[in-house]
Structure 1
Amino acid sequence: MAGHDHDHDDDHKGHSHAVAADADRKWLWSALVLLSAFMVGEVVVGFAARSLALISDAAHMLTDTASIALALVAMRLAARPARGGYTYGLKRAEILSAQANGVTLLVLSAWLGYEAVTRLVSPPEVAGGLVLVTALVGVVVNVAATWCMSKANRSSLNVEGAFQHVLTDLYAFVATAVAGAVVLLTGFVRADAIASLVVVALMLRAGIGLVRDSARIFLEAAPAGVDPDEVADRMVSAPQVEEVHDLHIWEITSNEPALSAHVLVTPGGDCHAVQRELQRRLREEYRITHATLQVDHVGEDGEDGLLQIAPSSAAAAAAAEQAKTAGDAGRDHCGDVHGPVHRSGPHPH
């Protein structure tokens, strides 16, 4: 039996964002055209009405169009095949796009928040009628754009980032329409600034979520909802598996998890059968279809990675002391094991 056995399962059938890339681009282009056309008119009306709420909506809409354009570029880059030093291709261009969208939302919310507070202290005159009419038109436009974006596959963090921009803008227009009606009916001009603060809160929420989720991918964290210790326990519970270490789980891009691990099987065990069983469990239970497993026999090359029964009491005492002070001592199969070691039976992890 070969000492090392590697397997790459490149079945990406579950990655629908790649399959539906052309359809996604069509819907994104539709939303981009709608928002761009309305944004130009809103800027003009916003300055004419002296409405910060409208101007903030227009500024947010500018980031909407930029985020969609960035998403389209990122999708094009991510579709390129892997070559040269980019062994995963440019799939993470989509995550860069999502992070850029999140950062722009945070920066813009800081600026608009400052402006809104300033206007609460010293409110200018606002043309409530213009604000109300423009905001109502904006609601219609953003409903159409949001519908277009919802047709794209939002499982991609890239598409989700652009969608969050547009959805936040829809809520913003609703708040602006309410503010316009309040100003028109009561003359309470501070309603415009209050509506802007509502927009700021929504932008902060969406921006923080995008930055957090994209940062998890860049930091090679396990996908949300996947517990590496649980995965290791399921792997080590498979027949003939004695130990799993050097387990790493990360995401190449949105909904494209990957896993690598070193697996030790019982002496004389069927490495190929163990590998197939582990691949099946990972695929069916955790939707991890891209897994690289190095499978070895326990005790191979004189290094079994497990504590052994020593031939003398002195050696046994030394081994016990080593285990006590170093926790997982004696697991030098890889020389430098990263992370916890998971073993079958009653051994502590």
Structure 2
Amino acid sequence: MAHNHDHRPPADLGPAFRWAVGLNSAYVVVEGFAGWITGSLALLADAAHNLTDVAGLLIAWGAAVLAKRAMTARHTWGLGRATILAALLNAIAILVGVGAVTWEAIDRLSDPVSVPGLTVMLVALIGIAVNAGSALLFMSARKGDLNARGAFLHMAADAAVSGTVVLAAGGILLTGWDWLDPAVAIAVSLLIAITAAGLFREALHLSLDGVPFEIDRNKIAAWLAVQEGVQSLHDLHIWPLSTTETALAVHLVWDGSDPDAFIDQVTDALADDYAIAHVTLQLERHPCERATG
């Protein structure tokens, strides 16, 4: 009997990446030039971070393209794992950039540079529009795709960064306190670091074949154990094939009479209820000798 395995490709994020890369590349040039002319470390910090985001978007885009390639004799699962590696590289790039900016900002606190608050504010306002618009491009896909979520978090964090730069520029205009510029750069860097640390943790977990955080392994084990004919189970493994696809393999000690119908029912339910479309069930009349938990 044929089994219905839902191997649909991930959503096409090509247009979203294309617009996001184009908008952010243009803004990096504008913001970096403005930061250099005005001497604003907050603008330069944000421009440097945006530059790493452009690189990250390109990596994520490339990974999304690779994930759509069909499986081959050498890569029997396809190249979907590239999306996990892209998310991991994105997180590392952000953390490195944050460290460099923070180091420079701390040094600048002791010797603040006078910056034109109005110019900084106007450039940062443009940044809010660019980054918020880019984030919206990935909003619908972020919940089911870590790669898309990484892109969304980058853009949303950058919009928040630009917002704080606007506040810092306003504070400089009102008070003349130039130290607000490096202080905001530090605060922004810490905010971004927290966001990137979460992305790094999840991407590293998935790269080590960890069970995706949105899946409860114990719940699935309990569900499998009460299916008709199942006496016990062992060797239950759940791992990510990409940021959107998950695989499951399990040995079931089973005493039913229609294996094809049983496999169809279980695989369909796992795909529909748990979004696990790649399922391998091994049915046994008795537990195998090398059974593990």
What is the TM-score of this pair, normalised by structure 2?
A: 0.92
Instruction: Select which of 12, 26, 41 maps to 2:30.
Output: 41
Shift of 1:290: 1.5
1:163-174 matches, cutoff 5 A: 163-174=152-163
Between the aligned partners of 2:217 and 2:59, the Cα distance in structure 1 is 33
Name the SS for the 1:189 alignment partner: coil
Instruction: Select which of 226, 230, 254 maps to 2:243.
Output: 254
Shift of 1:153: 5.6
The answer to whether 1:289 aligns with 2:277 is yes
Partner residue of 2:132? 143
Between the aligned partners of 2:154 and 2:119, the Cα distance in structure 1 is 24
Shift of 1:152: 5.4
Which residue identity lines up with residue 252 of structure 2 in the other structure?
V
1:107-126 matches, cutoff 5 A: 107-126=96-115
Which residue identity lines up with residue 81 of structure 2 in the other structure?
R
1:2-17 matches, cutoff 5 A: 10-13=5-8
Q: What is the number of residues matched between the two proteins? A: 293
Between the aligned partners of 1:29 and 1:151, the Cα distance in structure 2 is 16
Shift of 1:240: 1.6
Shift of 1:101: 0.6
Sequence identity percentage:
33
CA-to-partner distance for each residue in 1:3-32, whole Å, 9 max, x for gaps?
Answer: xxx98753134x6xx2x31xx211221121
Partner residue of 1:328? none
Shift of 1:95: 1.1
Shift of 1:97: 0.9
Shift of 1:52: 0.7
Moved more, 270-279 or 63-72: 270-279
Moved more, 239-248 or 114-123: 114-123
Instruction: Select which of 263, 266, 269 maps to 1:275.
Output: 263
Shift of 1:104: 0.8
Instruction: Select which of 159, 164, 188 maps to 1:199.
Output: 188
Contact 2:56 2:93 in 1 (8 A): no
Partner residue of 1:51? 40
Which residue identity lines up with residue 147 of structure 1 in the other structure?
L
Name the SS for the 1:56 alignment partner: helix
Root-mean-square deviation (CA, aligned residues, Å) is 2.1
Partner residue of 1:97? 86
The answer to whether 1:79 aligns with 2:68 is yes
Shift of 1:158: 1.5
CA-to-partner distance for each residue in 1:163-209, whole Å, 9 max, x for gaps?
Answer: 21111111111111111111122111111112112211221122112
Between the aligned partners of 2:140 and 2:116, the Cα distance in structure 1 is 36
Between the aligned partners of 1:152 and 1:263, the Cα distance in structure 2 is 34
